[in-house]
Structure 1
Amino acid sequence: MPHVSADDGVKLYYEEAGSGLPIVFVHEFAGDHRSWEPQLRHFARRYRCIAYSARGFPPSDVPEDPTMYGQDRARDDIRAVMDALGLDTAHVVGLSMGGFATLHFGFSYPERARSLVIAGCGYGAEPAKREQFAREADAAAQRFLDLGMEEAGAAYAVGPTRVQFQNADPRGWAEFRDQLREHSALGAANTMRGVQKVRPSLYELVDKMRTITAPTLVLTGDEDWPCLEPALLMKREIPTSALAVIPNAGHTINLETPAEFNALVADFLHAVDAGRWPERDPRAVSGDILGSR
């Protein structure tokens, strides 16, 4: 099976399909490289598509040491995949945990990002919810260790922003749930505590967001409650960004609403590749309501 080495030697499993300009897909906490199958089948017709499993998610390595996990490591693992595959630049598409890593990649390595798609990004970001999120993340990690993924993973799959997927596509949701139950309990716990629980709030990253130069598409479902306000924040602060909201959709939008997700991303990528993606006109943020002065 193909693997690349991260900067610290952790082996990351990847799959690829297609040829052309590269797209790197970065999965969410409840997913892995398989989560991007609807996107690989669609975009591989015109792009070189790469999907990898994050550290802690087999067939990638599952480090036992919790210090081997972190937001900066997740960001740098995107770069490591690109370096190993000889990609100077790439479109980077991330969902949730992968969306956070994509955002950090965008302001840390601007010369490597052809564009950014930041989807379902915002869990635990709102300042008033930080302590609650940390408690829930710690409790979820302990459940993975105590109960195992068969039981704890099945419960995680029916969270308040997952039931939309279950209701819309029971068969697809069942596949998602079953793949989640195959994850490593140790990898899930270490990722939850080492990445999710302690990553910086988006509201602490406003100055860095303002430096992003890559064309950026922010995506969210309208029932992905923890991500709605953060999506608006990113739209306001990233000068090259657009925001799209998918109606009646939860968190797992690339699987729950693949047609809508793929269409939005495809239109975005086509505009970027044609050199037609705009940077915001400063007059759009003057502070006036009517602009009649």
Structure 2
Amino acid sequence: MPMLKTDDGVSLHYEEAGSGTPMVFVHEYAGDHRAWEMQLRFFSRRYRCIAYAARGYPPSEVPSDPNKYSQDRATDDIAAVIKGLGLGPTHVVGLSMGAFATLHLGLRHPGLARSLVAAGVGYGAAPGKQEQFRAEVDASIARIRAETMGEFGKTYSRGPTRLIFAQKDPRGFAEFQQQLCEHSTEGSALTMQGVQRERPSLFDLRDGFAKMTVPTLVIAGDEDDPTLEASIYLKRTIPSSALLVMPKCGHTMNLEDPDAFNRAVLDFVTQVDCGRWENRIPESLAGGIIAAKK
């Protein structure tokens, strides 16, 4: 079973397929490395693809020390995968919790990123929503410890932003739910406590995003309401970004509509690799529809 060590000594499991330009996939809180299977099958025909399980997600190590879990740790773990496998600048694709870490990689380790895809990102990040988000997280942590993930996963998987997945693809949703219920109770609680609860708001990182030049694609599902405002904010703030809103899609768009997701990401990374992804034209930010008089 392939494993690598992070800078602070935690073992991470990863799976690899294909060859060529590297692409790393970073999963959401309710997923793990298996959630990217349809992406690995598609992109490994053209790219060297790596999906890894975050710390706290077996078969990766589950540290018992709460200090081993944070937004910075999650970000540095992406860097550890890229450096540990000698990938060089890499296309990094993150979903939700993984998308937060992916954006932070662009802020803190831009030299490691060839491009960034941030999908389903922004829950709890909107102004005035952090306290509500933290209260929800605290309640969830208590339930995880009381019920175990085997039970709590059945509830968490049916959150409002995932109902469209269950409606569209009951078979795929059942697989997603089963994998979620297999997660470590301890790892899930500590991840929610250290990474989810304490992560900074995206809106507090405006200055860094405004200077970011790594090509970035933001993807939102139109039925993933808590991420829409943040996705528009990222599009307006990151000069090297574009925004895609996927119709009739919730939080787990790579599983809900893998063909559309894969094609969109492929088009994006192809433009990046051929040097055709450019920053936003400054004049397009004027806020009107009529060109200014010269």
TM-score between both structures, scaled by the size of structure 1: 0.99
Corresponding residue for residue 218 of structure 1: 218
Tell me whether 1:228 sits opposite 2:235 in the alignment: no
Corresponding residue for residue 40 of structure 1: 40
Secondary structure of residue in 2 paired with 1:28: coil
Distance 1:288 1:253 in 2: 32
Corresponding residue for residue 129 of structure 1: 129
Deviation digits for residues 171-228 of structure 1 (CA, Å, limit 9, x no counterpart): 0000000000000011000000101011000100111111211111000100101100
Deviation at 1:40, TM superposition (A): 0.1
Q: Percent identity?
A: 59
Which deviates the most, 279-288 or 115-124?
279-288
Corresponding residue for residue 199 of structure 1: 199
Distance 1:16 1:151 in 2: 31
Where do 5+ consecutive residues of structure 1 fail to align?
none
Corresponding residue for residue 260 of structure 1: 260
Number of residue pairs matched? 293
Secondary structure of residue in 2 paired with 1:12: strand
- List 4+ stretches of structure 1 deviating above 4 A: none
Deviation at 1:244, TM superposition (A): 0.2
Amino acid in structure 2 at the alignment position of 1:110 = P
- Over the aligned positions, Cα root-mean-square deviation in angstroms equals 0.8
Corresponding residue for residue 57 of structure 2: 57
Amino acid in structure 2 at the alignment position of 1:261 = F
Distance 2:225 2:188 in 1: 23
Deviation digits for residues 112-138 of structure 1 (CA, Å, limit 9, x no counterpart): 110000000001101221111000011
Corresponding residue for residue 100 of structure 2: 100
Deviation at 1:109, TM superposition (A): 1.0
Corresponding residue for residue 245 of structure 2: 245
Deviation at 1:290, TM superposition (A): 2.9
TM-score between both structures, scaled by the size of structure 2: 0.98
Deviation at 1:292, TM superposition (A): 4.2
Corresponding residue for residue 89 of structure 1: 89
Distance 1:290 1:139 in 2: 50
Deviation at 1:110, TM superposition (A): 1.1
Deviation at 1:286, TM superposition (A): 2.4
Distance 2:212 2:188 in 1: 30
Secondary structure of residue in 2 paired with 1:283: helix
Secondary structure of residue in 1 paired with 2:78: helix
Deviation at 1:289, TM superposition (A): 4.7
Corresponding residue for residue 111 of structure 1: 111
Secondary structure of residue in 1 paired with 2:128: helix
Deviation digits for residues 78-118 of structure 1 (CA, Å, limit 9, x no counterpart): 00011110112100000000000000001111111100000
Deviation at 1:287, TM superposition (A): 3.8
